[in-house]
Structure formats: C-alpha cells, structure tokens
Amino acid sequence: MAMMKNITIGQYIPGESIVHQLDPRTKILATFLFIALLFLVDTFTGYALGALLLFSIVLLSRIPVKFVLRGIRPLAFIIVLTLCLHFFMTEGRVLFQFWFLKLTYEGLIRGLMMVSRLILLIIGSSLLTLTTSPILLTDGIESLLKPFKVIGVPAHELAMMMTIALRFIPTLVEETEKIMKAQMARGADFESGNIFQRAKSLIPILIPLFVSAFRRADELATAMEARGYRGGEGRTRFRVLRFTRRDAAALILITAFVALVAFYC
Amino acid sequence: MSYIYNAGQPMAHEALRNVSLTIEDGEFVGLIGHTGSGKSTLVQHFNGLLRPTAGTVFVDGVDIFGKDVNLRKVRQKVGMVFQYPEYQLFGETVFEDVAFGPKNMGVPDAELPGRVDQALALVGLDPGLKERSPFELSGGQKRKVAIAGVLAMQPQILILDEPTAGLDPKGRDEVLSLVAYLHQKENKTIVLVSHSMEDVARLAQRLIVMARGKIVLEGPPEVVFRQADYLEAIGLGVPQVTKLLQALKKQGFAVDPDHYTIEAVEDEIVRLLETK
C-alpha cells in the first residue's frame, strides 16, 4: 500500500500564480513548443537557454523547486542507462579506457546532451500537470482537438474518457486496498513465493477489482444518462475557457523565444 | 493504542487516540459510533491488518506484533468480516471461494469439503450452490457466501463490520440470528460493529461507544442507553423503544426506562397499563 502513495503522475498543486491562471490551451501549446525546441536544438547553449526559460516559469508558478525536481526520480534509472550507453557505445576519440569500456569524447558530449534533453523534457511536461488541474487539462485538450473533428477525431469523447479515468484513480486505489485487506484477513499472502506464485496470488484481488470497476462504470453510465447526458453535441459548459490577452502575450513570448533559440543555437 | 493515518505527512490524520480495551473470551461486544469515529480502524488492529502507531494488541496473551508471531495464525484465530464482504468474492465457484481461507491456513485438501459444507450450513445456504458461480447469486446469498468464507477458517473470535448494511429486513434478521447462534451455541467471541442501535442492543452484552477516535462510553446496554442526550450529541441515539420509555418517564409515568428490546418494552408497557 505504500507503493500507491508514490504515484505522482499528473499530480496537481493548486495555486494562484500567473502560471496557474493561464488558459490550459496556452499551457499545452507552450509545452509542445518547448518540447519541439528540445528536439531542434543540439548545442549546450541551447539547452542552457531552455533551462533558463523553464526555471523562470517554475519561479513564476511559485511551486517549490524541490517538488518539480522530484518528477525526475522515477526516471533516474533510464537517465543513468542513457548516460552509460552513450558514454561507452559511441565510436570516436578515446579519452579513457578501462578493460573493454572506452569512454570517447563524442560519447561524453552526446550522453550529456541526451540527458539534458531528457531532464528538461520531464520537467517541462510535469510543469504542465503541476499547474493545471486535471479537469482544466482535459477541457483544454478537448478544445484543441475540436478542429480535428472533421477528420473523425472524437474530441469530446476522448476528453470525457480522460476525465472519468482520472476521477476514478483514487477510488480504485482505495478499493484495491480494501480488497487486499479482506483477502489478507483470509490468510492471503502477496509477498512470498516465486514470480508465478505471486502472480497467482493477485487473482483474488484482480477479479473483485474488475467486477467492481465494471459495476461502477455501469452505475456511472446510468447516472449520467439519468441527468440527460447525450454526448458532446450541443452541450454547454459551466467553466468556459477564456483565451485572454495575457494568454496571447505568453504564447507570443514563448514562440519568439523558441524560434530565436532554435534559429541561433 | 493510537493510530495515525499517513503518519509524518501533511495529510496525517489521527484516527485512534489512546484507545485501551479488553475483550473477554466468549463475550459479545457491540462497537458503535458515528461514521469516521474510528471503529473500523480499531477493529483492523485486532487481527494485525493495521499496525498501531503506538501501543500494541494482545490476543490470548500474545503480543501479535511480537517478533516470532505468525500473523496468518492470528488471522485464523481472529476472523474478520468486512463491510460489504460480497465485493471480495472472486472464486469461479462458491466452493473455491469459501475454501480460500482454510486453504491459506494450511488445512489439508481432504478436509476442505467438510469445512465448506459446515460453513455453508451455518449461514443457511443450500449445499447445492457449491458448484455455482458466486456472481450468479442474489445479493443476500453473496453476503452469506462471503461470511461462510470467514467461518470456514473456524475462528475463535469473530469481528463483523456492519454485516447487515444494505440487506433487506429478512436478510438482516438472518445475519443477526446467525451471529447470535455463533455466540450462544459455538461460544465464539463476537465484536459487532454497527451504527444501528437496535441491532447491537438486542445482541450485545457490552457496548463500546466511540467518537473522534476515543472510547467515550462503555458498559452494558441499559447503562449506556441512559446517556440518551449524550449519544444524540455525538450523532447516535438510543433504540426507538427505549426512547419511548424515557419519554413516558419524563411525563411522570412509573416506568423503568432501562429496557431496549421490543419484547421487554412491551412487557413494561403492559405492566404499566395493568397497574393503572
């Protein structure tokens, strides 16, 4: 059960900062621009400027830097692996040799660059979820996907599915804990045995969990229909997204920055 | 004993504060309290599902959080029926589900059918249901299968957390008479968690009332129910029939308000009418 507490994917930290108050569409587009920048740039100056941009946004959002950096921890293994692979697998001028491992100059540069790119990518995208509530985020996605409806993208349905999925994560976590306890009270053991025994010991948790997830889904569908839900067509909104002058300014600023950095670095 | 959820985190919540209690062998204890009073948290300590933040739990004189204690053995001795236990059914057949507990406890396969038959008979289910899928059964039958799954471990102490919640009156009566039978005929120690005063009043020998993580009242039902005003202040109440007697007494009638079952109150009122 301790494992469940460490899930921070899509965690949102409520706040009143200017970053929080921006329209979610602005933030989603800005994030995409930032990611594009990371793939266009391949100099350390470029990454440093990207990091500077990110750092100033973190400061503006008033989210503790420690919290932002925490997003990297789950990916530490991948970062180290990337670093090692690039360090030792790239052909080039050998700087240092130990047994069969050769550290090359090219490898060193490539490795450091890939890792900077990775870290900036993680922080940039987690900043989006840290400052945008899940509901606003899905509203923003729905609104941005709307133009693609002509080619058959079910924008509203996708957004509704995301909202419901996010809404039910805590419920399912709670349900899982309850079922685990009940089966433990009947002597179930989830910790010992080999991998097959352990997988088998999950059956008494998974089956009740699926049964209750389907039951909840069914009840939710009935409750939604009872309140007149008929899909996205003609549905008005309680929270209307407003693209203000501030959003335009933010977007222009970031676009200009990204364009300049991508062009010169 | 104390218990704090999410100890050391900003979301920390103290669910139990210095709770101390003893339950005797063969006793029937009713644990009552408003939602969130800590009663479910408390009973989850009795079989080691939760580990107290401070303090400990003794079962038969043994500290269950001690070094050499096998928690599985403790859980065999202290059976626990959770709220809405039918949501934990998973077996392909009723037999498989009921046999899950005893199997985990190391009961040999040859003894399993006997255990299952016995448990199903106790809860009053037709043995013909054994090969059916538990998911095909009615709500009340599912609840009984789930209870049988705990009884099949033959626990000496049985904890039931709101076993009648969501059942129709008939199902409720059946579950309560099963609990009474287990206590009287099988000499099991019972802890019944409930917020229905009527249910616990009829069965329990001793009531423990919890509020905000503490034990606030304790004693035989008639003594606890004398504190009607206090019970109402913490979101509980007294059985309707006891309320009636207390109201009569206030009006100046010569009744003894220390009764809490329909039968006893009926006798009391008949007596009152006769003496008039």
Please tell me the distance from the alpha carbon of residue A101 to that of residue B166, in angstroms, as a whole number. Answer: 67
Distance linking the first and last C-alpha atoms of chain A: 47
Instruction: Determine the pLDDT at residue A6.
Output: 44
**Residue A135 CB partners (closer than 8 Å, separation 6+):** A163, A239
* pLDDT at residue A211 in the model: 92
Mean pLDDT of A112-130: 90
Question: pLDDT grade, residue A237 (50/70/90)?
Answer: confident
B150 touches chain A (CB under 8 A): yes
Distance CA B242, CA B237 (A): 10
CB contact under 8 A, B90 and A203: yes
Q: Which two tokens stand for residue A207?
A: 């089956």
Q: Cβ of A189 and B80 within 8 Å?
A: no
SS3 of chain B: helix, strand, coil, percent, to 5: 45, 15, 40
Q: Average pLDDT of A44-51?
A: 92
pLDDT band at B14 (very low <50, low <70, confident <90, very high): confident
Average pLDDT for B131-144: 92
Confidence of residue B12 (pLDDT cuts 50, 70, 90): low
Average pLDDT over residues A140-159: 88
Q: Is A183 on the interface with B (CB under 8 A)?
A: yes
Highest mean pLDDT: which range of A57-66, B60-69, B153-162 = B153-162
pLDDT band for position B11 (cuts 50, 70, 90): low
Q: Does the CB of B149 have a partner CB in chain A at under 8 Å? A: yes
Enumerate residues 6+ apart whose C-beta is below 8 A from B195. B32, B33, B34, B35, B162, B236
How crowded is the C-beta side of A262, counted as CA atoms within 13 Å?
Answer: 14
In a domain, residue A236? The reply is no
Q: What's the pLDDT tens digit per position in B215-239?
A: 999 999 989 988 888 988 888 888 8
Task: Give residue for tokens 């080619």.
Answer: A151
φ, ψ for residue A96, nearest 5 deg = -160, 135
pLDDT at A4 > cutoff 50: no
Q: Does a structural domain hold residue A251?
A: yes
CB contact under 8 A, A184 and B85: no
Residues 6+ apart with CB under 8 A from B83: B40, B161, B162, B165
- Are A18 and A101 within one domain? yes
pLDDT of residue A255: 94
Residue A97: what pLDDT?
76
User: Where is average pLDDT lowest: A21-35, A92-106, B239-253?
Assistant: A92-106
Please check whether residue A232 lies inside any domain of the structure: no
Q: What is the pLDDT of residue B13?
A: 73
Same domain, yes or no: A180 and A253: no
Tens of pLDDT, residue by residue over B33-61, are 888 888 989 999 999 999 888 888 999 88
- The reply to whether A152 falls in a domain is no
Encode burial over B176-185: b for 16+ CB neighbours within 10 A, e otherwise: bebbeebbee
Helix (H) or strand (E) holding B214: strand B214-219
What is the DSSP secondary structure assignment for residue A62, as one 8-state letter?
T
Q: State the Cα–Cα distance between residues B32 and B217, nearest whole angstrom.
A: 10
Amino acid at position B47, single letter: N
pLDDT at A7: 47
Q: Is the dihedral of CA A54, A59, A60, A62 positive or negative?
A: positive
Q: What percent of chain B has pLDDT over 90?
A: 49
Task: For residue B49, give the nearest of A181, A206, A211 by CB distance.
Answer: A181
CA B188 – CA B209 distance, rounded (Å): 22
- Are residues A111 and A78 part of one domain? yes
Residues A40 and A117 in one domain: yes
**Pairing of the two strands B189-194 and B28-33:** parallel
Q: What is the predicted pLDDT for the residue at B10?
A: 56
Of A187, A203, A204, the CB nearest to B105: A187
pTM for this prediction: 0.76
Contact B16, B2 (CB under 8 A): yes
Interface membership of B46 toward A (CB under 8 Å) = no
Task: Give the three-class secondary structure for B238.
Answer: coil
pLDDT of residue A235: 80
Give the pLDDT confidence score for residue A76 in this predicted structure: 87
User: What range does the domain containing A95 cover?
Assistant: 2-132+241-264
Q: Which chain B residues are within 8 Å of A186, Cβ to Cβ?
A: 75, 100-101, 104, 149-150, 153
Together in a domain, A6 and A76:
yes
Q: Among residues A230, A199, A253, which one has the least CA distance to residue A19? A: A253
Contact assignment for A187 to B89 by CB distance below 8 Å: no
What residue ranges in A51-156 does DSSP mark as E strands? 94-98, 101-104
Residue A235 forms part of a structural domain: no
Q: Do A186 and B101 touch (CB under 8 A)?
A: yes
The phi and psi torsions of B190 (rounded to 5 degrees) equal: -120, 135
Q: Do B135 and A211 touch (CB under 8 A)?
A: yes
Q: Are residues A70 and A170 in the same domain?
A: no
Give residue-wise pLDDT tens across range A74-113. 888 889 998 888 888 887 777 777 777 788 888 888 899 9
**Residue A145 lies inside a defined structural domain of this protein:** no
Residues A86 and A185 in one domain: no
- Asked if the model's pLDDT at residue B73 lies above 80, the reply is yes
Higher pLDDT, B159 or B200: B159
Of A5, A183, A203, the CB nearest to B88: A183
The pLDDT value given to residue B29 = 95
pLDDT at A241 over 90: no
- Neighbour-count burial of A145, counting CB atoms closer than 10 A to its CB (0-12 exposed, 13-18 middle, 19+ buried): middle
Residues A105 and A70 in one domain: yes
Q: Are A25 and A128 within one domain?
A: yes
Least confident of A223-227, A245-249, B261-265: B261-265
Confidence of residue A1 (pLDDT cuts 50, 70, 90): very low
Does A246 share its domain with A222? no
- In a domain, residue A140? The reply is no
In whole numbers, what is the pLDDT of chain A averaged over residues? 87
Considering only CB atoms, B85 lies closest to which of A182, A206, A212, namely: A182
Question: Do residue A121 and residue A250 come from a single domain?
Answer: yes
Residue B151 has pLDDT above 90, yes or no: yes
Query: Are B134 and B160 in contact, with CB atoms under 8 Å apart?
Result: no
In one-letter notation, the amino acid at residue B134 is P
Number of domains in chain A: 2
- Same domain? For A249 and A200 the reply is no
Region A5-28: what's the mean pLDDT? 79
Structural domain contains residue A150: no
Q: How confident is the model at residue A191 (pLDDT cuts 50, 70, 90)?
A: confident
